[in-house]
Amino acid sequence: MSGETVLIAAFSGRSLAQSARRAGYRPLVADAFGDLDTQHAAEDFRVLDGVMQTGFRTKPIIAALTDLSQSARSTPIGLVLGSGFEDKPRLVAALASRFKLLGSDAATYKVCKDPQSFFGVLDKLGIAHPETRTSPPADPTGWISKRVGGSGGRHIRTCVGLQRAKPRRYFQKLLDGDRISVSGVFLSAPNSVLALTRQWTSPSPEQPYRFGGAVSLPPIDPDVRRRIVDAATDVSSALQLKGMASLDFVVKNGTPYLLEVNPRPGASLDVLDDEAGFLFRAHIAMGLGEGIMPRFPDIKVNRSAIAMAILHADRGPILLNDIPWPDWSADRGPPGTFIPAGAPLATVFAEAPTADAAEALARARLAELEDLIYEHAKS
C-alpha cells in the first residue's frame, strides 16, 4: 500500500485524493476543476476543460488517465471513479477495459440508473420507494421529473402544467421527509461497513432540489435505522455493489423510501472518513480482491458530528482572485477561475458534539465564506 499510485477520475477529485493520501497512496487525478487542494493532495493531475458542460467523453478521459499512468513513478494499481459517470455505463466499461476498475462495474451502473430496472429490483425485494413512471402523470400536482442517470439534485424539476414524455427523463411522486443516506463500503455480507448521514437541499429558483450538504451521526429512531440498513444490505447484494457507494432515502411517517443508489464514492466521504483514510483503504482492498482488512474501526463511531455544505455562486458569476481560504473550507478554486452563476463555488466543514449543531455551524460558515470570496473577487 505505502507509496503506490492510484488513478482517480471524477467531476471533483478532491475528497478522493485527500482520502487516498491519508491512506498512504499517491493519487493521480483527472477532474474538471484542478482546485488548489486537489493539486496539493495529488501526486499528479490533469484538468479536463468543459466537462461540467458536456460530461465526460471517452477519448479525453482515456487520454488523460493514460498520460497520468505513463508519467507516474510506478504503475497505478487501478482506477477509482467518483461523480460524473452515473449515466455513462458504456464509458465505465471502456475504462474498465483499459484500467483495473476498483469499484462497481458497468452493469451495476446501468441497473442503478435505469428507472425501470432499478425500481423493478426494489419491487421484487419489497422495498418501499416513491411512485415512479416513465409516462407523464395525468395530474402533475406533487410530481417531479428526473434525468436518467442524474445525481446531486441539479437535474430535478417540479412538474407544473401538462407534462409530456421526454427522452432520458422520468417522473416520480414527491415525498417530503427526512433525507437519510446510508454510505460506506459494500462487500459480501456481513462484511459491509455502513454509516448513516442526514442530507439537505440548497434550493435555488432554477434548481429547487440541488444538493446542499450532509452531516454524520444524525439522531434516528433505532427501528428506522435498522430498516434502512437492512434495505441497503438487500439492495447492495441484488445490484452487486462493490466498494464505496451510497443509497438515498426519504423517511416519511416512520417509513424509509429508497430514492436512488449511487454506485461510487459520494459527498459523505468527507464526513465519514477517518485520519487514516479508512474508507479509501477498504475500497482498494475490495477492488484488489483482498476483502475488508481486519481491525477496521466503525466509521466515526466515537467522534463528534461532522457536517459539509456546498457554497453555490448564487450572488452571480464570479472570477476568483487570491483568497485567504479558511482552514474549514475546501474545493478552493485557483485565482482566475470563472464560476458561473449558481454553480458550486466551494465547500465548508464544521464539527460539533451533535448533528444539529454541526449543521448549524456549517450553514453559518457558508455565509462567512460567501462574503469572503465575493469581497476578494476580481472586478
Map out the domains of the chain as residue ranges.
Answer: 5-102, 109-287, 305-375
| In contact, 244 and 184? CB cutoff 8 Å | yes
Spatial CA neighbour of 286 closest among 186, 190, 182 = 186
Query: The C-alpha cell of 162 is what?
Result: 401538462
Q: What's 5-102's CATH class?
A: alpha beta
Overall size of the chain counted in residues: 379
Q: Counting Cβ atoms within 10 Å, is residue 80 exposed (0-12), middle (13-18) or buried (19+)?
A: buried
Spatial CA neighbour of 9 closest among 73, 60, 83 = 83
Spatial CA neighbour of 298 closest among 314, 279, 311 = 279
| Per-residue confidence (pLDDT) for residue 295, from 0 to 100 | 45
The CB density around residue 53, as the number of other CB atoms within 10 Å, is 8
| Per-residue confidence (pLDDT) for residue 356, from 0 to 100 | 98
Q: Counting Cβ atoms within 10 Å, is residue 236 exposed (0-12), middle (13-18) or buried (19+)?
A: buried
Q: d(Cα 83, Cα 264) in Å, to the nearest integer?
A: 7
Q: d(Cα 127, Cα 232) in Å, to the nearest integer?
A: 10
| Per-residue confidence (pLDDT) for residue 190, from 0 to 100 | 58
**What is the CATH number that goes with domain 109-287?**
3.30.470.20
| Per-residue confidence (pLDDT) for residue 300, from 0 to 100 | 46
Tens place of pLDDT per residue across the chain (379 aa)? 568 999 999 999 999 999 999 999 999 999 999 999 999 999 999 999 999 889 999 999 999 999 999 999 999 999 999 999 999 999 999 999 999 999 999 999 999 989 999 999 999 999 999 999 999 998 999 999 998 877 777 789 999 887 888 888 999 999 999 999 999 898 765 567 899 999 999 999 889 999 999 999 999 999 999 999 999 999 999 999 999 999 999 999 999 999 999 999 999 999 999 999 999 999 999 899 865 554 444 454 447 999 999 999 999 999 999 999 999 999 999 999 999 999 999 999 999 999 999 999 999 999 999 999 999 986 5
